Amino acid sequence: MPHPFICPNCGERSSASDRYEAFRRDERGCSHCGFSFLFELLDDYYPAPDAAFFVADREGRVIGCGRGSFELTGYEEEEVVGQPIAQALGLSFENGEDHVATVLEWGVRALGKPATVRTESDRSATATADLFPAYDDDGGLLLVLTPAR
C-alpha cells in the first residue's frame, strides 16, 4: 500500500511504497523540485494554495522554510533558520498551548489549530496550523500555516 508524502519546499504530494529511495537507506527527495527530503503523512493531506511551510529539527529549531513562508511572514529563510520555531515566527496558539512541543515529544499530528504569527513588519496574522511529526530517525516537524480568511 503506498504511503502519501508531501514536500515542505514546494507542497508537491506524492506516494511511494517506502520512505527510502530504492534499496538505499537514503531519505526520499522531491522529484518535482529536488528538495532533499519529504514528510510522510499518515493520511493524504491537501494544503491550501496559500499555505506556508516550515520545517524544524527535533529541538524545534527552524531548519528550512518552504513555499509560502515569505508571503505569510515577510521573513527570508536566513533570518529564521536556527531559531526556535515559535520564537522565530512569533507563533502562539489559543489558550497558551504549545502544539510544537506536543508534536515533538509525542510524535502525533496536531491539525486545525488556531494560531497567531508575527510578521516581519511586527504585525500579527492569524492562521490555522497543521503540525506533522517527522517519521524518521532524525525527528523534527513540519508546520503548515494557512492564513485566516
The whole-model pTM stands at: 0.83
Task: Parse the chain into domains and list their residue ranges.
Answer: 3-147
Q: What is the mean pLDDT of the chain?
A: 89
Element (H, E) at 118: strand 110-118
Q: How confident is the model at residue 45 (pLDDT cuts 50, 70, 90)?
A: confident
For residue range 60-112, what is the model confidence (pLDDT) as tens digits? Answer: 999 999 989 999 999 999 999 999 999 999 999 999 999 999 999 999 999 99
pLDDT at 22 over 80: no
How distant is the alpha carbon of residue 47 from its chain centre?
Answer: 11
Grid cell digits, residue 107: 510524535
Looking at domain 3-147, its CATH superfamily turns out to be PAS domain (3.30.450.20)
Grid cell digits, residue 143: 508546520
Query: How far is the C-alpha of 63 from the C-alpha of 53, rounded, in Å?
Result: 11
